[in-house]
Amino acid sequence: MAKVNHSDHSHFLLRSQARDEVITVLKAEKIDLALLEAKYGFVTPQKVLQALQRDAIQGKSDVFQEDIYEKPMVELDKLVEKQRGTHRRMLEQLLMVEQAHKQALYKLEDEKRNHGEFMRKSDEFTNLLEQERERSVTNFFVVIS
């Protein structure tokens, strides 16, 4: 068995590290640019995204943990559903208010009609009283003369 000295071991270690670096760069270059943009959330020059991906690979992190757009889209879907529910409740409340408004208008129209009828009867009664007063005054002067 051959004995490995320290310089051979260092040389082998450097070559291994260089090989790993080349593999990571090649992996980063191979990944689709759209996937990198989705992961990092911005559009930048391809080399920057590849460098970020290379660093992530070297850091032994998962190549793609999750799409950064996935969570906001889930939250947006929740918000849309909440808004739909709120919109439905608002329409229900609007319908209730509209019905209450119609009832109030009917009551006001009824009051207006009743008031008009009361005023007409009051005017008739006042006219009858005036006619009776004139008749009484006329009869009084006829009796006196």
What type of residue sits at position 126?
T
Residue the block writes with tokens 């799409």: 67
pLDDT of residue 106: 97
DSSP 106-123: HHHHHHHHHHHHHHHHHH
Task: Compute the distance between CA of residue 36 and CA of residue 53 in angstroms, rounded to an integer.
Answer: 7
Task: Compute the distance between CA of residue 136 and CA of residue 10 in angstroms, rounded to an integer.
Answer: 139
Task: Compute the distance between CA of residue 118 and CA of residue 130 in angstroms, rounded to an integer.
Answer: 18
pLDDT of residue 120: 96
Summarize pLDDT for 34-85 with one digit per residue, the tens. Answer: 665 665 555 555 666 566 666 766 666 554 555 666 778 888 899 999 999 9
What separation in angstroms does the CA of 27 have from each of 30, 46, 61, 87?
A: 5, 14, 14, 49
What type of residue sits at position 14?
L
pLDDT of residue 71: 78
